[in-house]
Amino acid sequence: MPHPFTLLFLCLLAFSLFMQLWLARRQITHIMAHRHQVPAQFSERIPLSAHQKAADYTCAKTRLDRISTLAGTGLLLILTLGGGIQALHTFWSAHLQGLPYGIALIFSVFALSALVDLPFSLYRQFVIEEQFGFNRMTPALFLADLGKHIALAAVIGIPVLAAILWLMSAMGTFWWFYVWAFWSVFNLLVLFIYPTWIAPLFNKFTPLADGELRHRIESLLQRCDFSASGLFVMDGSKRSSHGNAYFAGFGANKRIVFFDTLLERLQPAEIEAVLAHELGHFKRRHIAKRIALLFVLSLAFLWLLGQLIDAPWFYAGLGVSAQNTALALILFFLVVPIFTFIFSPLASLLSRRHEFEADAYAARHASAEDLIRALVKLYEDNAATLTPDSWHSLFYDSHPPAALRIAHLENETPRHA
């Protein structure tokens, strides 16, 4: 008779897999059914050829995601009930003890997961992105990025993981609180140093040149009472033709970044409106709220792990006979997504609400019409589908569907001169 926790795990895994495949099928079917006609709301703004390109691009990515989901599920079963983690434990425990054992075990699992994902990343970048005209990355740059990520994982990840494993072993019953406090401080530190220390490892950042755009941006920042440490242009075009803008950091270290591809495509007034939307996220405290929610959830999950770490059924139910902190940590975070998948729509709904609020802020401090024009251009340039399936969108999309978002903006009151 299978272990009760094993049955629960398998049932939720089957449900999660079924839902992901069902949602992917719905997405592809719905998009292809609407491929031959541009939605009436966009019929005068986006040509049929661009609409069909977006449909084909989205379906190609969804088909690949479907295969990736099957591969990820298979790997999870191999690692847990298939004895993979047990085998890794047996190997590493025969050669290492203490923190070195825990670090080796966890990084081995991460490495296996990365190896399984690597072919999908290569196909996504050099087949799908290339086929639809978005790829500008060379194999050499892909390998360089991969090497940098591995180096960062070693330089930053190993000390952080060692600290977490030590706290789990040394802090007694309430170790989960000390781990949470350390993890929270670490994340805030990363947010602070990312713009000036980590991001430049991958991209070149140059100050935004003087001119109409810089004048507009500085006027917008003054109207919004927002201070930034600098305005920068990022060479996103060396990897992709997709465009974007964002700001990073916090406190005195905030900087605003524009992809060079965005500046090539949009007019200054449209870029101003896009930035006003991003500033809306800051002024409506969306970033602070998301960080706070992340901290609350991480505390809850670590507390839950604290209740499971000494429970034999937790390990046995996932195919592991041994018990220790490293095994508990890796097993917990491998299976948590299976148990929380059903709550995905809640995260999407919160994110969409924030997007509407940021759009409303942009309409008041810039121009709703300019933001609409910018969004339509970005939908077309990035081949974002205008006709997503409602259920698929509910689970996966952090932004509202294009038609709904544009309709909301069209109802916004123009700002006064």
- Residues with active-site annotation: 278, 359
Looking at the DSSP bridge assignments, the partners of residue 205 are: 234
Bridge-based pairing of strands 205-207 and 245-248 is: unpaired
Q: Taking Cα atoms as reference points, which of 25, 28, 23 lies closest to residue 55?
A: 28
CB 161 within 8 A of CB 153: no
Q: Taking Cα atoms as reference points, which of 262, 234, 269, 238 lies closest to residue 248?
A: 234
CA distance 112 to 75: 9
CB 405 within 8 A of CB 41: no
DSSP state of 243: -
In this structure, the number of other CB atoms found within 10 A of the CB of residue 293 comes to: 12
Q: Which tokens is 237 given?
A: 């075009």
CB 245 within 8 A of CB 205: no
Environment class of 291 (CB within 10 Å of its CB; exposed 0-12, middle 13-18, buried 19+): middle
The helix or strand, by DSSP H or E, that contains position 27, with its residue range, turns out to be helix 4-33
Q: Which tokens is 164 given?
A: 């977490």
240: left (phi over 0), alpha (psi -120 to 50) or beta: beta
The helix or strand, by DSSP H or E, that contains position 19, with its residue range, turns out to be helix 4-33
What is residue 245's three-state secondary structure? strand
CB 273 within 8 A of CB 171: no
Phi–psi pair at 40, nearest 5 degrees: -55, -35
DSSP state of 83: S
DSSP track, 178-199: HHHHHHHHHHHHHHHHIIIIIG
CB 124 within 8 A of CB 61: yes
Task: State which amino acid sits at residue 145.
Answer: D
Q: What is the side-by-side order of every strand in the sheet holding 255-259?
A: 205-207, 231-234, 255-259, 245-248
